[in-house]
Every structure is written in structure tokens, then in C-alpha cells.
């Protein structure tokens, strides 16, 4: 029986997969700089006899063909890049690169997909269709490696009927998975604002436009974009996260810079909000006598899980791991460039439980103490292999 064989192989290879994860964790690389990681992945695929090609410089795209390879094509995706964070964990496989760390679990994602690749390759005579393996660069930084891979044809030749990705979840107990249909993660856009005047003496504010005051008013006023214009049933957030201006007590600075992020779950509202942000900011700043430069760097789109694919994948996951191991994913205002894929073809992005409260493994992603319970790697690799071998959009 295929399920049993996948589970046996995931267990058999689990120690080797943990060693792979240790290597990746100790040797992290930043977005679009994943050269050694890419070479490591390529070498593993070569050893497995899996053909692959390079896209977007460091991306690796492999293809495993089962029985009747053209009958069904499913893509499995893992990201490979790390974050500019100095690791604080005291572990044997701690990052060897100062100021760079796999703090978002991409080492785990890559490990799980390599494990799934090995399992699927070994069992390729026992499942139908083809599985495209996407090892993706640059998830953590605009424009997003997914967008670059799509431009280079990753969703063609052969064209997948669906794409599946997983993400570590430290707030979910090890051994569990969570799924959700429809909207699951927010879009993410970056806001950059510069407010300018000629500056002046702090004792004579009437002789200039007070950039500090104007910027302060703007930070507060921008919240009206959300509170008075957004549909209350559509999650959205605007956060100004940087306020830079001034250098002494008696000078009104000639320039203040603001930076922030805007998140939304609805693509139509997202771009309407951009228009409102520009309008409100320009009118307020100019009305108070200053000049403004405003740039919105459009980032990742909303991650949307195709409802039909979600139902198929969740049912398959329940059959693989058991009903008690599957939960409902919560909505998150974090962003993921997996959204680019799910705009093109049906996508399902699910979460892998990696937390262990009893063992003190609870730190969130993007923190210097993030780590996982490595018992998660066996079910993670097995689940990816199982979904790759069994999910079929023809069931819809």
C-alpha cells in the first residue's frame, strides 16, 4: 500500500534528513545569494537520478515521472533563503555565517522537499503522473523568487494542475498539520514617505513648515485609511514602523522619513487603499506647507488556497496522518510569495507543526532563537510525498 511505503521510507530516511537540515541550517544564505544551497540541492537530485534545470540563477526545478507521466502534474515547492538575523541558539549546528540565520524554517522546507523527492523517486512505479519539484530562491525579499521563476516558465513544460507548499508553524504541536481554504495570508506592500521643507530654528516655527509635526499628524491620519474606508469584514493593517528626522534640540529638520507596511486580504481593496494613502498623505502634507515624496513598493499578493484543491489535499492529509493530526489554519497577516503561484494555478499552502512546549521549543519565526522539534521532519517529508503522489485535480 502506497501510504504505508511512504511512511516507512520517511521514517527510514529521517536521520539522514535531519543531517541535511543541520547542514543547511549551519550554512544559511540570504535571498538571491543561495549559490551553495542551490549546488547542495542539485547534487542531491543528481544522486537520485532526478533531472533538473536552473531558473532565476539559483532556483532548482526537478521533475519526477511516475506511471503515465502526462496524466497528472503536481508541483511541490520549497524556499531556500535565510534572513539577516544573528542566531542566538546554542546548538551544534548553529549558523556559521555571522548575522545570517534560517529563522523562518526554509532549511526545513528544503529538507522536507528533498526527502519527498527521494521517496517519490524510489516509489515512482507506484503512483500516477509527474511531480515538479520547485526549490525557490528569494522568498524573503521583493520582488520574490516565485515571481522570477514564473517569468522564466516554471509553471510550464509541463504545466502543473496545482501547486502545494508547506511552512513551519512553531505554535502548532509537532506531528500536526493545519489547512485552510480560501484566503489564508495577506498581501504585503512597503510604504516610503519623505516630507521636506526648508527647515529652521525651533524657536521660530512660523518661518518654516514643521516636518516633525506634519509627519506626526500623518502617522495618525493614515490610520483613517483602514478604520473609515475598509470593509470591517476584510482584514487589513497599516503600520508605520520607522520615523527618522532631526538631530538636535533646537532645529526643525528639513526632512523626515517614514517607512511602513500595508497588508490586505482583498486585492481590489489593496489597490484602492494605495490610492487613498497617496491622496491623504499628499493633501495633508501639502496643506501644511511641506513637500512630499511617496513610494509604495508593491509586494506579494494575497495567498489564496483554491477551495477544491484544499478539500482534496486536506482529505488526503487526514488519510495519511489521521483526523486528530489535522487542524484548521488561522488567518495570518504575514505574507508569502507563494501567492504569486496561487494567482496562476490552484494552490494549497499548509502548515507543518514544529513546536514542542515541553521541550521549550516555542520561539516564533523571524526571531534569533527560532528552532524546531526535528521530529517534524519525518511527517513533513512524508506528507509532501503523499500529497505529490495522490492529489489529483481531476477529482474536482
The residue ranges of DSSP E strands in the chain, in sequence order, are 52-55, 59-65, 73-79, 130-136, 162-173, 177-179, 182-185, 187-196, 200-201, 236-245, 251-252, 255-264, 291-297, 303-305, 326-328, 347-355
Q: Angle, to 10 degrees, between the axis of helix 14-26 and the axis of helix 106-122? A: 140
Map residue 103 onto helix, strand or coil.
Answer: coil
Whole-number CA gyration radius for the chain: 24
Rounded to whole angstroms, the Cα distance separating 379 from 256 reads 50
Burial (CB count within 10 angstroms: exposed 0-12, middle 13-18, buried 19+), residue 206: exposed
Give the active site residue among 52, 300, 304, 320.
300
Rounded to whole angstroms, the Cα distance separating 101 from 115 reads 22
- Pair 287, 218: CB distance under 8 Å: no
Give the active site residue among 87, 140, 374, 378.
374
Rounded to whole angstroms, the Cα distance separating 380 from 226 reads 38
Q: What angle do CA 335, 14, 319 make, to 5 degrees?
A: 70
How do 251-252 and 59-65 pair as beta strands? unpaired
How do 187-196 and 255-264 pair as beta strands? antiparallel
Instruction: Specify which residues 30 forms β-bridges with.
Output: 82
Residue 374 annotated to the active site: yes
Question: Minimal CA–CA distance to 343: which of 311, 309, 303?
Answer: 303
Question: Minimal CA–CA distance to 106: which of 165, 190, 47?
Answer: 165
Question: Minimal CA–CA distance to 134: which of 103, 105, 163?
Answer: 163
CA separation, residue 8 to residues 1, 17, 82, 119, 145 (Å): 11, 14, 31, 10, 33
Element containing residue 117 per DSSP (H, E):
helix 106-122
Active centre residues (catalytic): 300, 374
Amino acid at each position: 500500500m502506497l501510504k504505508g511505503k511512504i511512511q516507512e521510507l520517511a521514517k527510514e530516511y529521517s536521520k539522514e534528513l535531519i543531517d541535511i537540515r543541520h547542514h543547511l541550517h549551519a550554512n544559511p544564505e540570504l535571498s538571491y545569494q543561495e549559490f551553495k544551497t542551490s549546488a547542495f540541492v542539485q547534487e542531491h537530485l543528481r544522486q537520485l537520478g532526478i533531472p533538473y534545470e536552473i531558473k532565476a540563477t539559483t532556483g532548482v526545478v526537478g521533475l519526477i515521472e511516475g506511471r503515465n507521466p502526462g496524466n497528472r502534474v503536481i508541483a511541490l515547492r520549497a524556499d531556500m533563503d535565510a534572513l539577516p538575523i544573528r542566531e542566538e541558539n546554542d546548538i551544534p549546528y548553529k549558523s556559521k555565517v555571522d548575522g545570517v540565520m534560517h529563522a523562518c524554517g526554509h532549511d526545513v522546507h528544503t529538507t522536507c522537499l528533498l526527502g519527498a523527492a527521494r521517496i517519490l523517486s524510489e516509489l515512482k512505479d507506484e503512483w500516477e503522473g509527474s511531480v515538479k519539484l520547485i526549490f525557490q530562491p528569494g522568498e524573503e525579499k521583493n520582488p520574490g523568487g516565485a515571481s522570477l521563476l514564473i517569468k522564466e516558465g516554471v509553471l510550464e513544460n509541463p504545466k502543473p494542475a496545482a501547486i502545494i507548499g508547506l511552512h513551519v508553524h512553531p505554535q502548532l504541536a509537532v506531528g500536526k498539520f493545519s489547512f485552510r481554504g480560501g484566503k489564508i495570508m495577506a498581501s504585503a506592500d512597503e510604504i516610503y514617505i519623505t516630507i521636506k521643507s526648508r527647515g529652521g530654528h525651533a524657536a521660530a516655527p512660523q518661518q518654516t513648515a514643521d516636518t516633525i509635526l506634519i509627519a506626526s499628524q500623518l502617522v495618525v491620519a493614515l490610520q483613517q485609511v483602514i478604520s473609515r474606508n475598509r470593509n470591517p469584514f476584510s482584514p487589513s493593517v497599516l503600520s508605520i514602523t520607522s520615523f527618522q528626522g532631526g538631530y538636535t534640540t533646537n532645529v526643525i529638520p528639513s526632512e523626515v522619513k517614514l517607512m511602513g507596511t500595508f497588508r490586505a486580504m482583498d486585492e481590489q481593496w489593496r489597490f484602492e487603499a494605495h490610492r487613498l494613502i497617496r491622496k491623504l498623505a499628499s493633501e495633508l502634507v501639502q496643506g501644511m506647507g511641506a513637500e512630499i515624496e511617496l513610494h509604495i513598493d508593491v509586494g506579494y499578493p494575497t495567498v489564496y488556497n483554491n477551495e477544491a484543491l484544499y478539500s482534496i489535499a486536506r482529505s488526503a492529509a487526514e488519510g495519511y496522518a489521521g483526523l486528530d493530526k489535522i487542524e484548521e489554519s488561522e488567518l495570518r497577516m504575514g505574507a508569502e510569495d507563494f501567492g504569486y503561484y496561487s494567482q496562476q494555478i490552484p494552490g494549497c499552502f499548509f502548515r507543518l507543526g514544529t513546536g514542542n512546549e515541553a521541550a521549550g521549543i516555542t520561539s516564533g519565526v523571524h526571531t534569533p532563537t527560532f528552532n524546531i522539534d526535528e521530529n517534524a521532519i519525518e511527517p513533513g517529508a512524508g506528507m509532501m510525498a503523499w500529497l505529490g503522489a495522490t492529489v489529483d485535480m481531476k477529482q474536482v
